[in-house]
């Protein structure tokens, strides 16, 4: 029995690793398209400033950038694929209700992950880039002339770091809300009245921590988090009424 589980575990690990290798090849084959997706927020802002370009100061810089992009997308997709195999591997040891709940949670996570990526690319990155460009323009107009040229590797490093910070914050909020659902089911109204202000304070603190000191950007991120929190409460009320 244990041997069968070990064999299945080995096969699933090989499938995940093979998936990662295939994704590395596929993403590298489409590297120009993926580079455009990652750089589109910056290019959209740069069009307004009439400076739509990146610079490169090293012979291997373009190759390294393409490899980083392939590695980034391959890791994201492989992680989603890994979660699916993890649920399926544990499936035989779960009750039918628990297995269906695990699959439902997985698909909800997948939808939230896609929404997060769209919001991050369409809203957060442009806001952050605009903030730093505004600082440059203020310095240029008041102190001296400052010429800025975006370097492709530095932009990608900035994008990946910002992505990780926002993803960790967003995932922490999701986990916190999922864990809190266990406690609020017993007395939902009392829990909301007692702890709602603390959730608001926590969400505002996280929003300020992951965003630059720009009031519009901070308010925007706070708005997204609070709306998501309120939608989560509505879903719980709807689910409880159905039950």
Count the helices and strands in the chain (H runs, E runs). Answer: 8, 0
Domain segments of the chain as ranges: 2-182
Flag whether pLDDT at 185 surpasses 80. Answer: no
Mean pLDDT, the chain, rounded, equals 78
Q: In 3D, which of 129, 13, 143, 134 has the Cα closest to residue 78? A: 13
pLDDT band, very low/low/confident/very high, at 220 (cuts 50, 70, 90): confident
CA–CA dist 141, 151 (Å, integer): 23
pLDDT digits (tens, 9 = 90+) for 159-168: 988 888 888 7
Do 28 and 66 form a contact (C-beta atoms < 8 A)?
Answer: yes
Strand partners, 55: 151
Higher-confidence position of 163 and 142: 163
**Position 22 confidence tier, pLDDT thresholds 50, 70, 90:** very high
Record the tokens describing residue 67, joined without a space: 């490899």
Q: What is the pLDDT of residue 75?
A: 92
Categorize the per-residue pLDDT at 179 as very low, low, confident or very high, splitting at 50, 70 and 90. Answer: low
Give 55-93 pLDDT, tens digit per residue.
788 888 888 889 999 999 999 999 999 988 888 888 877
Asked whether residue 183 carries a pLDDT value surpassing 70, the answer given is: no
Q: Which residue is it, tokens 């979660």?
A: 83
pLDDT at 44 over 80: no
- What is the full DSSP assignment across 49-103? TT----B--STTHHHHHHHHHHHHHHHHHHHHHHHHHHHHHHGGGS-HHHHHHHH
Q: What's the pTM?
A: 0.73
Task: Name the DSSP letter for residue 124.
Answer: I
Task: Give the residue, 122 or 239, on which the prediction is more confident.
Answer: 122
- Give percent above pLDDT 70 in the chain: 74
């Amino acid at each position: 029995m244990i041997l069968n589980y070990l064999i299945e575990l080995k096969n699933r690990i090989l499938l995940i690793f093979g998936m990662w290798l295939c994704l590395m090849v596929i993403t590298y084959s489409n590297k120009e398209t993926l580079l455009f997706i990652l750089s589109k927020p910056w290019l959209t802002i740069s069009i307004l400033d009439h400076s739509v370009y990146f610079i490169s100061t090293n012979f291997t810089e373009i190759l390294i950038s393409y490899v980083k992009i392939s590695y980034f997308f391959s890791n994201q997709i492989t992680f989603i694929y890994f979660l699916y195999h993890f649920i399926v591997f544990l499936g035989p040891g779960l009750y039918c209700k628990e297995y269906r709940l695990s699959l439902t949670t997985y698909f909800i996570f997948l939808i939230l992950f896609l929404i997060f990526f769209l919001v991050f690319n369409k809203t957060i990155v442009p806001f952050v880039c605009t903030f730093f460009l505004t600082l440059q323009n203020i310095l240029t107009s008041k102190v001296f002339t400052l010429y800025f040229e975006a370097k492709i590797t530095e932009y990608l490093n900035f994008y990946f770091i910002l992505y990780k910070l926002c993803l960790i914050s967003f995932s922490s909020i999701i986990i916190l809300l999922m864990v809190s659902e266990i406690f609020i089911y017993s007395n939902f109204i009392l829990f909301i009245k007692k702890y709602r202000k603390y959730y608001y304070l926590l969400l505002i603190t996280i929003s300020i921590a992951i965003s630059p000191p720009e009031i519009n950007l901070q308010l925007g991120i706070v708005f997204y988090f609070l709306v998501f929190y309120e939608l989560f409460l509505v879903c719980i009320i709807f689910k409880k009424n159905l039950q």
